[in-house]
Structure 1
Amino acid sequence: MPYNIAYYVHHHGAGHLMRAIAIAKALIKQRDCEITFLGTGLSRYRSEIPSEIGVTELPADVPAATDVHYRTAEVPNLHYSPFHVQGLLDRNVLILQHFQAHPETLCVVDVSSEVTQLARLSGIPTIVIRQHGDRLDLAHQLAYESADLIVAPYPESMSTPSQEGIYDYKTLFSGGFSRYDDLPTQPDIAHEHDIAVLVGKGGTNFNSHFVYQLQRQLPEHYRLHIIGDLFRPQTNNNITMYGQLADPQPILARCSVVICNAGHNTIMEVASLRKRTVCIPASRPFDEQFAKAAALQRLGLAIVVAEADMMSVDWLDILRQANELDVSRWSSIIDESALHKIAKKIFQTFDSHFHTSRNEQ
């Protein structure tokens, strides 16, 4: 019997999906698996999702014009608990229909306390992806309590139990990973005066005013490489706008410093590429990016600039500090066996429910 994995993918930004794809590929590489992604907005990424992975598109859970009885409500054990949203009801029905059609399944949740609790209340074992930030609220604690396993896709050195919760006994700290882990070692071609500004897909505090501020402060021989969706400033000799790139690695390789937010996927990519990094954490639920940035600063991995200071700091001095960072420290963050370890624990968890007599492979 193949391993049947339902994988819920949160829709904010692209990082959750990229992580899901990486984990799913590791699972398929090791065993006979039937994997189905459940999520909103997945269809537009169908070309990036391996063909052997099924996709169930879930409707959005936000109120529509037809939801005339909609009203908000706060419930301590849930993060999102409105009344009378048809899309919310429909998506839960689709999730339950998947579980009903595949009762011998394991649900990996990245991330949703509500989906975790829905699965567990349906008798479906769950594995939850753990994130940085203040996760001590009741909804997170219930999700973590009910999960068979928690996967933290970073090393334990980046963890803050006082914020994330004391669940280390059931947490796999896999170490970090990204799509760049398998790149062959390449010569250092970075130019000291080439600077990348990496704009993530999950929302950013970067804008054209910030780009102009960088330009004004830096000498003319500096060149700014702006990667991502950002309002295009007027043409300048030392600013290059690339828009969204399927693979920004060639541009990042030529830059001595990367300025970015503290999204998980972004940080793991600069870690894999061993880039000197200036991190400007953006506001996120549960202060996720602030917590991640604090860990990076504590470990000497990045220079951190607060959003409130990004328009007033001395950027030439910030870049000088960044150039003094020891990029070899990123080796403590990225673990080349991370995906193998995650896949192994997922299979072990599945076997504990459905294959108790199967010999360890």
Structure 2
Amino acid sequence: MAILEHLPEERPVIIMTADPAQFDDRPRKARMVELPNMIGAPSRSPALHDQPTPETMHCVPLGVEEMRRHMGVIAQTLCEHDPALFVIDVSAEIAMLSRIMSVPAVTIRMHGDRDDKGHVAGYEACVGMLAPFDERIEQANYTHRLRERTFYTGGLCTTKAPLRGRQEAREKLGLPEDRRITLVIAGGGGSGTPYAPLTVAARAEPDTQWLIAGPVHREGHETDFGNLRELGWIDNLTDYLCAADRVIASAGDNTVHEIARAGKPFLCIPEWRYFDEQQAKARELARLGAATYRETWPASIPEWQRALNETDALDTAILSSLHQDDAALKAAEWLETLATDLWRVS
């Protein structure tokens, strides 16, 4: 939706999605095509389910009615509307479908160990790749021939909430002005931030106020501490970011760029994702000096203290430079130029 806001009004847009409700607040007119939700749908026989997956694909079980209808709606929509471009949210298989149907596709790039045959085939099937991050955190193992076809927007953050000064944000939230505050952000993509390691962190820095935004995962043996407070789901995360002295979070794209936008020291502890997406991004952030990186949550007081001291010593200007206010605009302009150039008849 951030990119959609900047596409020319005269460019018709069709959005294909299994969850149209997430686009209710879209900034401009767009036709919605609902796709059957095929996630977790079963094959119709054990023998079909047990057929091996081709090396050039990732998730293509046989005999799944929902998958056939899902791909059929996509194919029918491409056939009916003959789009100038088909922008694909990461699926290698759909990129190959687009190429087979003679429709130029652009896939959204993500970090991770994606040099397998399936990903490479998907990238090669596209006329270009769109990376919503800064080229400085590109992975060294992403091949040069594919990098040349990638457009880097700079850090794209969808958050538009105003940034406030530290004191103003604390006054607004009713937080103490004279106490160190560490904000822990738990995203919605996993089972929640583990609570037990944070109880150790609270003991490692008893004078620090620890705030946890988002869901936490408890195992039942944790002890609560007075300087450790759960906020739950909040709709004013930016205010808490502005109020914090440091931030601990995973390596999700928008989360990273929200922290960069606020310019806070960042301890990055990635969550499990397919193809080690977050681990790869966290390593690149650490390489650049934009964040401190720990592969897993610190389990002891000394290790927490080392990680926090390293985080406090970061030059926040490096992380801040990874966020670009005009990233969505640049993405839209690149897509429009690509669509125009590909279809120009000289």
TM > 0.5 fold call: yes
Shift of 1:64: 3.6
SS at match of 2:15: strand
Q: What is the rounded CA distance, in whole Å, between the counterparts of 2:333 and 2:45 in structure 1?
A: 47
Task: Give the alignment partner of residue 265 of structure 1, picking from 247, 254, 272.
Answer: 254
1:202 is aligned, of 189, 199, 208, to 189
Over residues 31-65 of structure 1, what are the superposed CA-to-partner deviations in whole Å (9 max), with x where a residue is unaligned? 4232222223x234244434623332322324546
1:339 equivalent in structure 2: 328
Question: Do 1:104 and 1:354's aligned partners in 2 also have CA atoms closer than 8 Å?
Answer: no
Q: Which residue pairs with 1:136 in the alignment?
A: 115
Instruction: Name the SS of the counterpart of 2:14 in structure 1.
Output: strand
Distance 1:347 1:356, change over 3 A: farther
Structure 1 counterpart of 2:173 = none
* 339-348 or 226-235, which deviates more: 226-235
Alignment partners' CA distance in 2, 1:198 and 1:135: 27
Match of 2:299 in 1: 311
**Which residue in 1 is equivalent to 2:12?**
34
Q: CA deviation at 1:234?
A: 7.9
Contact 2:108 2:130 (C-alpha < 8 Å) held by counterparts? yes
CA pair 144-315 structure 1, distance change in 2 beyond 3 A: same
Is 2:231 the counterpart of 1:242? yes
1:225 to 211, 216, 223: 211
Indicate the percent of aligned positions where both proteins have the same amino acid.
Answer: 27
Q: Please name the residue that 1:320 is paired with.
A: 309
Stretches of structure 2 lacking an aligned partner (at least 5 in a row)? 171-176
Q: Distance in 1 between matches of 2:33 and 2:272?
A: 30
Which letter maps to 1:310?
A: P
For residues 105 and 257 of structure 1, do their structure 2 counterparts lie closer, same or farther at Cα, with a shift above 3 Å needed? same
In the TM superposition, what is the alpha-carbon distance from 1:328 to its structure 2 partner?
A: 1.1
Q: For 2:32, which of 43, 50, 55 is the aligned residue? A: 55
**Quick one: structure 1 residues 245 and 316, their matched pair in 2 at CA, closer, same or farther if it must change by over 3 Å?**
same
Secondary structure of 1:143's partner? helix
Q: 1:124 to 1:96 in 2, by over 3 A?
A: same
Please, which runs of 5 or more residues in structure 1 have no aligned partner?
Answer: 1-20
How far 1:321 sits from its partner (Å)? Answer: 2.0
What is the number of residues matched between the two proteins?
A: 331
Counterpart of 1:172 in structure 2 is 151
Whole-angstrom distance in 2 between the partners of 1:65 and 1:137: 26
1:110-135 Cα offsets, whole Å, 9 max, x none, are 11001111111111110111111112
Counterpart residue identity of residue 148, structure 2: Y
Question: Contact 1:204/1:261 (CA < 8 Å) preserved in 2?
Answer: no
Q: In 2 relative to 1, CA 49–104 (structure 1 residues): closer, same or farther, beyond 3 Å?
A: closer
The answer on whether the counterparts of 1:277 and 1:322 sit within 8 Å (CA) in structure 2 is yes
Contact 1:205–1:282 (CA under 8 A) maintained in structure 2? no
Tell me the residue number matched to 2:63. 84
Does the CA-based 8 Å contact 1:76-1:138 persist in structure 2?
yes
Distance in 1 separating the partners of 2:268 and 2:191: 12
Confirm whether residue 123 of structure 1 aligns to residue 111 of structure 2. no
Q: CA RMSD in A?
A: 2.5
Of 319, 332, 340, 1:351 maps to 340
- SS of match in other structure, 2:45: coil
Describe the shift of the 1:172–1:98 C-alpha distance in structure 2 as closer, same or farther (beyond 3 A). same
The alignment partner of 2:124 has SS state of helix
Instruction: Give the TM-score, by structure 2 length.
Output: 0.87
CA drift at 1:355: 4.5
Match of 2:80 among 87, 98, 101: 101
Letter in 1 for 2:106: I
- TM-score normalised according to structure 1 size: 0.83
- Residue by residue over 1:199-252, the C-alpha shift from the partner in whole angstroms, topping out at 9 and shown as x without a partner, is 111115622223322223321x32111111225888754233222223311111
